[in-house]
Structure 1
Amino acid sequence: MQISVTEAKGQLTELMRRAERGDEIILTRHGHAAVRLVPVKPVADAKSRKLLLDAVRASAAEKVAGGPSAARSQDFLYDENGLPDDRR
């Protein structure tokens, strides 16, 4: 269903109910589609959130790769006195 923003102002509660039931509600401005009303997805319960976080943490732990330390990775930019090396 498409409805102008001006018309929707007086019917917002009903439009929200229809969107929550799954109807597609498009608000138009000057005859052009501007906004779609969609229901908010329910937030996951605590158990689902914990499972998701555990999966993310496990995935991240698998991707950790050792490598050189970044602490001295840009030493080549400086001379033996710690000043910028002009030769590069």
Structure 2
Amino acid sequence: MATFEYDENKSKSNLKKHGIDFNTAQVLWNDPDALEVEIESGVETRFLVVGLINNKHWSAIVTYRNKNVRLISVRRSRNKEVELYES
């Protein structure tokens, strides 16, 4: 099981903006079909994780710090991300 870390204020902001907090978003890692893709970021290596929560597609932006998953953002998946997940 992954160990998660995140900024609590960012999690609250994410809940208001996207309807999901970072604690709930951790369920994405229970999806055996979750997809992880490295994405471009000028700051650090980041990854897009696409998976299902309650039969809805969600996308998370994360980075890895030591052995922890650092949640940066979570939102409903875009159409292209859903297509990628379903392919």
**TM-score relative to the length of structure 2:** 0.21
Structure whose CA Rg is larger: 1
Scaled by the length of structure 1, the TM-score of the pair is 0.21
